[in-house]
Structure 1
Amino acid sequence: MRDAFSSALVAAAQRDPKLLLLTGDHGYALFDPFRKACPDQYMNCGIAEQNMVGVAAGLAKAGFRPVVYGLAAFVPIRVLEQIKIDVCYEHLPVTFIGDGAGVVYAHLGTSHQSTEDIAALRAVPHVSIYSPGDRFELTACFDRIMQSSGPAYLRMGKADLGDVHAGPLAKWNGELIPVTTSNAPHLFVATGSGLKLAQKIAAAIGNADVVSVPCLKPFPEESLRRLAQRREAVVTFEEHSIYGGLGGAVAESLVGRYVGTFLRIGIPDQFSTLCGNYPFLMESHGLGLSDVENRIRKVLREHVEYQ
């Protein structure tokens, strides 16, 4: 996914000399192709993320198209006030890239993990939020951002879990992307790394369709409502807090319109208190494959018994 981002960024910069890449002393190897292809469009602002957003806002007002890169724990979390006031209040065309979202920086602890970035930005006016699930979704998301004229946030997980789609997504319009469509009784709604998890659980349990949500804001409410009609259960998957992220957006969209079982799979209301690799951290938050499968089976079984 990171290679796809690098390729999309270089291509966009070569098309538009006004595109500038700003980084807070991160991503050196990732940006080797960019520095080689567009050396005059690269700025290392140092470990001063708040100032970097202010610089990006000034450049945007001068007619440039800044892309601000950082770890998701810093961009957007550390610079939330600057994003709100300097960029979104002015409705400036600044793109924020939050790399390593979720708990993928497992060994570095809570300070370098970001499980609240979507929730924080959903409440800030004017900013669009994207959370691609594979390299093809990332390219489609970045292309859509470059076609827009306002602030945007692109959330990337550093762990590459593999492709979900067979190839590029032509003419994606920001709506939900069906992965399986069989009119199954259960609907799995996923974003980011949660898409691969949803796909695996659906294959294990059966009787479930999977849809991807690469764009979380503006949220595709109407298409979700249509897909959720007559489903016995709707389950959301995300590597983000169960509060304020995809699960919250789906719940807000369906409240008063859906009467089936609803379950959110994500990070519970807790910090990472243990240290280990990425799979270990996911398991510590209850997001291991077997734990999630058992939990969903239990909820679906209870739904059948209640009926």
Structure 2
Amino acid sequence: MGESMAVFVPAPGDRTWIEGVGGAESNVACHLASRGFRSRWVSALGQDSFGRAVLSRVRAAGVDTADVHIDPTRQTGLYFKEPGAVTYYRRGSAASALGPDLLDRISLAHTRLVHVSGITAALSPSCLGLLRAVLRDRRGDYRVSFDINWRPALWEHGGGPELLRELADSADIVLVGSDEAEALWGTDDPAEVRALLPGPETLVVKQGADGATLMESGQRVFEPALAVDVVEPVGAGDAFAAGFLASTLDGQGAGRRLRAGHLSAAGTLLTHEDVGEQLPAELASALLDADEPAWRGARVSTEGVRLG
């Protein structure tokens, strides 16, 4: 549940732009659909060509878009992505008008998991109200996963650190980058982040190329990241979230869930797309079951995987 926008990236070698789709929550929905889950994206788009393009792309990925509202008066958000810079045009977008009343128009009766992110909280007061309602006014037997997704440019009026901590502490599953935790709360240590967020059943601190730490039921598990020849990092966090959540929904153990996140992220790191391809199933399965030396020695590139 959250905003997706039309995204434009410069085409190589000339002055034209290539249109795509960008949105943390819809990225996760697309990844989950590709893994065979019934995945639904809930949002709002403008009644414009950009909105139609976003809707078509997400729907083509196998995601249920029946609960996407088409707003006849507000536009679809846009952003332009250039090397080293991202420019957003999302103020007053259709998704920024979402609010708690959205929950009266959709059914969550058969939902196992609702995934949201901190981006939504920054879009408008009504969007913040929606997140609070999702996290506190549960309308079904589902868990809520919350990806911090710290975007300082969206919090121009301040309040981000306190609000994001409040929201995250009401979730069941929280994912946060160590760099985000440092920027928000002054620490990148998983134990200290856990002390700040005692509420969630599950906390994952993503530590970049080093790996990720899972803290759950008094247990602390670290799993190193795969070595990847990175093409572009955008979208890798969403891919990690989807891989981890898919494995969580399948009831897998701690280390395997973290590895599933790393494998999913690796597929996106190898592409310019926000939603990359999964690694081949046989290879992913072998890596999930690999012993520690083999996992640590593997290196993933666009040419394949080299085992150490």
Give the TM-score, by structure 2 length. 0.35
Give the TM-score, by structure 1 length. 0.35
